Structure 1
Amino acid sequence: MQLTGYDLTLDDLTAVAHDRRSVVEIAPDVPARLVAARAVVTDIIAQGRIVYGVNTGFGKLSSVTIPATSLAELQVNLVRSHACGVGNPLSEAETRAMLLLRANVLAHGLSGARPVVLEQLVAMLNAGVHPVIPEKGSVGASGDLAPLAHLALVLIGEGEAYFGSERLPGQAALRRAGLYPIALEAKEGLALLNGTQAMSAVGGLALARLLQLAQLADVAGALSLDALHGTATAFDARIHAARPHAGQRAVAAHLRGLLNGSEIMASHRDCPRVQDAYSLRCMPQVHGAVRDVFNFARQTLETEFNSATDNPLVFTDHNDVLSGGNFHGAPVALALDACAMAAATLGGIAERRIERLLNPDLSELPAFLSRQPGTQSGLMMAQVTAAALCNENMGLAHPASVGSLPTGAAKEDVVSMGMTAALKLRTVAENVANILAIELLAAAQALPFLRPRRTSPVLQRVEDFLHTLVPPLEQDAPLSPCIAAIREHLPEVLAVAAGADEA
């Protein structure tokens, strides 16, 4: 793929992040933009003009003028001093996403960095040199300063990086890849540190997973509905045309397609039950609202991916270097917090369907789907695990973005906490994946009790695939491996259900 600075998508991000074989190239017209902006910075230094970020200190120290002979030292000191992260390193995929996003920022040509800085980022990405970046330490104000400083350290041959599976000093990792450290010049350390690329990388990959899980929730919910003798009447297109939220209409159509042709549903069409519980009947309204939030976040993040987020910015039209606040993570933080609330809701409604599948007072099925209730406990504890995950998500759904704490001697007096929002969302997404795995496990274990009637052709394919992962349980067994087996194959479950929304 080619980096232009302007058209990076979430799909591009996930492809490069998860596949080391992806090759990233710099678009042909990008270097000229960087050269032009760099000339503005060079002229400022030659003229002795005082411009923030070029020949001053940073933040509260912006009133300190730095002599030309110390500008290179200033940039290295900036990178070193800001590498203050703690905690576990970001995953390889998250680190690759950060490298890609930071390169895309520089490709704008508004940062004042030389082409060699952009080239080094892209070379590291293509060669598989992945900086060790502690996940905690950013408040998302002047951007993700600490995480980006750990990334920048490796460009200059310091810090640590993974090369293959080996954790090495930064310079050694570069040499293993046939690369060499670069020497930063005026403005270039700042051009690497200001920005929202850590929160956007972590949050973007979590969002990409949640977009898949939102589709999968429809599949799991449809299986549960059929196993519980629910009706598809509530998914009639006319109902959703009367309240035409995009997500709601899309989910209703998806559910109609998934359930089309179900023998189970046809067998109880004239039963006396009038309405299903909300966790079944209101799937279009709830799942659809979740999808709408995720789609809003996707639009926000893709805008952020293609934005110049450092400070100051260099504009070549009038040779201006302007200080602003594009590094502030509020747009990303608010979107990711909204996603955490939406994802917690998605997990919550799935947990209620799990309860209905396992509770004999609600399901018309054997207690806990056990072959010998009493002697066997069946899937009793699976619902307990789902409830525990939902409770954790309730806490994680509390927004990080409202928790501003001033930093930088109160210069950074309102901060976004966007990285906290991203890290929370990553955990919420993992919890939701496990909850949906439990629902799929329960629904697949429930449907054989309804034989000889079968579910729809589409859902039957899904049920059959789930039984290849976890066969119908004839006796009690440890459930953790069963849940893990399904969780690890959730993308394949979704693929099996592909084409289900054509009806």
Structure 2
Amino acid sequence: MPLPEILFDGQPLRLEAVVALARGQAVARLSDAPTFVRRIDAGAEFVARLLAEDGVVYGITTGYGDSCTVSIPPALVEQLPTHLYTYHGCGAGALLTPEQTRAVLAVRLQSLAQGVSGVSYALLKQLAALLAHDILPQIPSEGSVGASGDLTPLSYVAAVLCGERQVWFRGESMPAAQALAAVGLQPHKLRPKEGLAIMNGTAVMTALACLAWDRADQLGRLATRCTAANVVASQGNAHHFDETLFAAKPHPGQQRVAARLRADLASDRPTRNEQRLQDRYSLRCAPHVIGVLEDSLPWLRQLIENELNSANDNPLIDAEGERVLHGGHFYGGHIAMAMDTLKTAVANVADLLDRQLALLVDTRFNHGLPSNLSGALGERAAINHGLKALQISVSAWTAEALKQTMPASVFSRSTECHNQDKVSMGTIAARDCLRVLDLSEQVLVAMLIAARQALGLRERLAPLNLTPVLSQWLADLCARIPLIEEDRALDRELQQLLQALRAQAWNPYGEADAGA
């Protein structure tokens, strides 16, 4: 069955389109409609006319940044874009993953497809071809301050379009020129505005933000399902999520989380433990914690998708009005704010789950379950330690996630001879957010093991009275994770669960997404 197509024609895209392309679940198609092609080429043609008339245009007939006062001799104008990506080839750090790189290519293509960047349709075709053939520039993740855009990481995209630097292609690392030749492509020759148009924008931070949003949405949903399981395992009070109660504090996301918990727990049933009126906060206040993330997602989607569907290089080219518009749309402040906000909300969810696990493993609080949720019986119970070490690891991962929540956006630095004297730090914020998600997902899959173990041990004491949806979810977990009756290493199972999580094996609650 063919994969769905994502059309790039200048019309708005949702962030799910970027995620689907990044994960290989869709293919990109660049519009070849004559009106679209003419609109794109009109910008490049206007730039060419300006040059022919000896017009002065930043980054085309002048140097870059603080060097904007340096005039470029006409004979050297064609070489300037090559110098731009060449001297920005100073990235460091881990390379972006293939998934992240596909997202970067898609986001940059969407921005240039807006038709105000002064580039040729041929450039868009070359960029779309990288996506179509999965020729992935090797992009170092470090070196951008988020204004003037993601210059250094995007220089690796520009260079690859021109047949330079290294790519991943068909599972191998090879020179870009070799990969292009393998699919019948020639290196692109950049027109005067095209180097700047590719590099001077927010594509890297926005691509990472799209992926982060999608992962955070899934994490919040699965954390809610885990919470429902933990309420059952600890014999908690399901009436904490009462509809009338939550009508009195009408945050929509918080109410959604409470409704999901009610559905999972069928809280209209009498509780077995009516004498305990109030559970501890990590259970009772779960909708309030997860609800902060849930309520943030629609707003964060708006920020991310506005950036995704924007032209964000400089200068912009208004071919119809025959104007060159100098501004600062490369500034990634909205993505920086989105990522600083998201990582804080996500880390708080990790902290919630960490607290729930601390209750489950402690006989003072778990209401009759074995210490550390050990499944060993008889004399072997003395040498088995259950989830003792897992709880320590979860605490470590949570602490590191919380430590990463220092906002990046407030650490602006003055760079480039004080030309870039206020910068967004958006790409650093996005990378921080992904790290927080990595750690929080580790916490989450550990909680899947703990919830499965706790429910299995609770069932030893008395039959479980689960809702059908929770029963089916538990059956899936039991198929993936045998009950831990004798101590065993859990690292392989943790990694398998992480892979399943990131492949979206679970998608609790099928209603429309939180950002709709």
TM > 0.5: yes
Gap change, CA 1:267 and 1:286, over 3 Å in 2: closer
CA shift, 1:69, in A, is 1.7
| 1:387-442 C-alpha deviation (Å, 9 max, x unpaired) | 00011112211111111111111100011111111111111111111111111111
CA shift, 1:308, in A, is 0.2
CA distance in 2, matches of 1:41, 1:500: 45
Identity of aligned residues (%): 36
Q: Which residue of 2 aligns with 1:368?
A: 372
Q: Which residue of 1 aligns with 2:17?
A: 12
Structure 2 unaligned residues grouped into runs of 5+: 1-5
Q: Which residue of 1 aligns with 2:406?
A: 398
CA distance in 1, matches of 2:417, 2:97: 32
CA shift, 1:499, in A, is 7.4
| TM-score, normalised via structure 1 length | 0.95
Question: Match for 1:358 among 357, 361, 378?
Answer: 361
Is 1:112 matched with 2:128?
Answer: no
CA shift, 1:34, in A, is 1.2
Question: Match for 1:97 among 87, 98, 103?
Answer: 103
| 1:460-500 C-alpha deviation (Å, 9 max, x unpaired) | 11111111111111111112223223222235652476579
SS at 1:489's partner residue? helix
Q: Which residue of 2 aligns with 1:295?
A: 298
Question: Match for 2:506 among 494, 497, 501?
Answer: 494
CA distance in 2, matches of 1:27, 1:341: 42
Question: Match for 1:435 among 415, 439, 443?
Answer: 443
CA distance in 1, matches of 2:104, 2:162: 17
CA shift, 1:326, in A, is 0.3
C-alpha contact 1:132 1:161 (8 A) present in aligned 2: yes
CA distance in 1, matches of 2:30, 2:79: 30
Q: Which residue of 2 aligns with 1:132?
A: 138
CA distance in 2, matches of 1:395, 1:31: 48
CA distance in 2, matches of 1:402, 1:130: 32
Question: Match for 1:83 among 86, 89, 93?
Answer: 89
Is 1:339 matched with 2:345?
Answer: no
Q: Which residue of 1 aligns with 2:190?
A: 184
Is 1:426 matched with 2:434?
Answer: yes
C-alpha contact 2:225 2:508 (8 A) present in aligned 1: no
RMSD value over aligned CA atoms?
Answer: 1.8
Is 1:309 matched with 2:317?
Answer: no
Q: Which residue of 2 aligns with 1:256?
A: 262
Q: Which residue of 2 aligns with 1:58?
A: 64
Q: Which residue of 1 aligns with 2:331?
A: 328
- 2:371 aligned partner, one-letter code: A
Q: Which residue of 1 aligns with 2:391?
A: 383
Gap change, CA 1:227 and 1:352, over 3 Å in 2: same
C-alpha contact 1:258 1:500 (8 A) present in aligned 2: no
Question: Match for 2:471 among 438, 453, 460?
Answer: 460
CA distance in 1, matches of 2:392, 2:465: 28
C-alpha contact 1:462 1:497 (8 A) present in aligned 2: no
Gap change, CA 1:176 and 1:21, over 3 Å in 2: farther
C-alpha contact 1:406 1:412 (8 A) present in aligned 2: yes
CA distance in 2, matches of 1:441, 1:371: 13
CA distance in 1, matches of 2:512, 2:134: 38
Q: Which residue of 1 aligns with 2:487?
A: 476
| TM-score, normalised via structure 2 length | 0.93
Following TM superposition, the consecutive aligned residue runs of length 4 or more in structure 1 with deviations greater than 3 angstroms are 495-501
C-alpha contact 2:204 2:427 (8 A) present in aligned 1: yes
Q: Which residue of 2 aligns with 1:159?
A: 165
CA shift, 1:173, in A, is 1.2
SS at 1:325's partner residue? coil
C-alpha contact 1:259 1:455 (8 A) present in aligned 2: yes
Structure 1 unaligned residues grouped into runs of 5+: none
CA shift, 1:112, in A, is 0.4
- 1:308 aligned partner, one-letter code: A
**Stretch moving more, 21-30 or 8-17:** 21-30
CA distance in 2, matches of 1:4, 1:21: 16
Q: Which residue of 2 aligns with 1:281?
A: 284
Question: Match for 1:239 among 240, 245, 249?
Answer: 245
Gap change, CA 1:315 and 1:234, over 3 Å in 2: same
Q: Which residue of 1 aligns with 2:496?
A: 485
Is 1:413 matched with 2:421?
Answer: yes
Q: Which residue of 1 aligns with 2:3?
A: none
- 2:506 aligned partner, one-letter code: L
Gap change, CA 1:360 and 1:497, over 3 Å in 2: farther
Is 1:32 matched with 2:38?
Answer: yes
